Chains A and B, each alone.
Chain A
């Protein structure tokens, strides 16, 4: 039973990290405005008693971070591939116009 629960937890975190890009757009819209945190001095408030807007879940931030990483790498590799393709076509074009190459 513990192993099953632990496997579920691993699967959940893996999904958060690997399947993030699909969710990233909704995540950015859900973020509350930034609010600096101060250590409690006057009273301690349990987190479940905070208003919903102040209970910041970590999962959307994790999804957003991994989405950015995956998209940045994929986008950059795609841009290199496109530029290489274009320059190869230019070389072929120049080769056609310069028969001795």
Chain B
């Protein structure tokens, strides 16, 4: 991964520089017009949030089953991604809603569940930061339960009556919108790969520092 890191960084930077042009070229949606263009970063940010949450849950399960330190590093990384990109989604969504719905926030099932999942991963990180020794296992449980809520967030728009656009929006996007949307999703997912690589390296280095200082104390 270390050899791929720099070329991938260049590719991701180029994609993020080109994305605004693709978004600008995408056709306007007939009812929402300009404000609909928030969608091209809003939805990919949730894709990364969900992927981070699943990474956290999967790695936490491995950590609980095998005690692998590396799995724990991936779990922290996933939780941090879930919090950062979830926050991005929770801010960009209301900016769209203000124009589309006339209000910043609605206690709609989708929005409320999304907020709960995000808060669960905030709780995970707080537990890791302030929980003291042994909090890793407790946090792993929190991470697994957090990710278990994600299918409810995703399908809530189909199961309950909500104001939020349904999951059918993405598969039915018109040709001009589809290209821009999937380009942004790819850019966000590649960015996620880069962040995971850098963040896991950081956790490994931290573990090494702890070992070195323990050795020094001995």
- A residues contacting B by CB (< 8 A) are 9-14, 16-18, 31, 34-37, 56, 58-59, 61-62, 64-66, 68-69, 72-73, 76-77, 80-81, 83-84, 87-88, 90-91, 94-95, 97-98, 101
Is there contact, CB below 8 Å, between B35 and A62?
yes
Of all chain A residues, the one with the shortest Cβ separation from B16 is A73
Is there contact, CB below 8 Å, between B212 and A62?
no
Is there contact, CB below 8 Å, between A65 and B91?
yes
Distance (Å) between the CB of B200 and the closest chain A CB? 11
Give complex CA distance A12, B23 in Å: 12
Known: A34-B98, A61-B95. A94 touches B205 (CB 8 A): no
Is there contact, CB below 8 Å, between A37 and B34?
no
Is there contact, CB below 8 Å, between A61 and B98?
yes
Interface size on B, residues (CB 8 A): 42
Which of B42, B95, B195 has the largest count of A CB atoms less than 10 A from its CB?
B95
Is there contact, CB below 8 Å, between B20 and A14?
yes
Question: Does residue B186 face the partner (Cβ distance < 8 Å to A)?
Answer: no
Question: Does residue B193 face the partner (Cβ distance < 8 Å to A)?
Answer: no
Please tell me which stretch of B100-108, B110-118, B126-134, B137-145 contacts chain A, meaning at least 4 of its Cβ atoms lie within 8 angstroms of it. Answer: B100-108
Question: Does residue B96 face the partner (Cβ distance < 8 Å to A)?
Answer: yes
| Residues of chain B within 8 A of A72, CB atoms compared | 84-85, 87-88
Is there contact, CB below 8 Å, between B202 and A87?
yes
Q: List 12 A-B contacts (CB under 8 A).
A: A13-B34, A14-B21, A17-B24, A37-B101, A58-B34, A61-B96, A84-B201, A91-B212, A94-B212, A94-B216, A98-B212, A98-B215
| Residues of chain B within 8 A of A37, CB atoms compared | 101-103
Distance (Å) between the CB of B205 and the closest chain A CB? 4
Is there contact, CB below 8 Å, between B87 and A58?
no
- Contact indicator per residue, chain B 192-210, by CB within 8 Å of chain A (1) or not (0): 0001001101100110110
Extra contacts, 10 of them, besides A11-B24, A61-B96, A65-B41 (Cβ < 8 A), are A13-B37, A18-B20, A31-B98, A35-B102, A61-B35, A62-B34, A68-B88, A84-B198, A90-B209, A94-B213
Chain A to chain B: the 3 pairs with minimum beta-carbon distance, closest first: A37-B102, A13-B24, A94-B212
| Residues of chain A within 8 A of B208, CB atoms compared | 91
| CB < 8 Å neighbour of A58 from B25, B35, B199 | B35
Question: Does residue B33 face the partner (Cβ distance < 8 Å to A)?
Answer: yes
| Residues of chain B within 8 A of A101, CB atoms compared | 212
Is there contact, CB below 8 Å, between A65 and B95?
yes
Of all chain B residues, the one with the shortest Cβ separation from A32 is B98
| CB < 8 Å neighbour of A64 from B42, B95, B201 | B95
Question: Does residue B69 face the partner (Cβ distance < 8 Å to A)?
Answer: no
| CB < 8 Å neighbour of B92 from A58, A68, A91, A98 | A68
Give complex CA distance A13, B34 in Å: 8
| Residues of chain A within 8 A of B96, CB atoms compared | 61, 65
Give complex CA distance A73, B42 in Å: 13
Question: Does residue B51 face the partner (Cβ distance < 8 Å to A)?
Answer: no
| Residues of chain A within 8 A of B25, CB atoms compared | 10
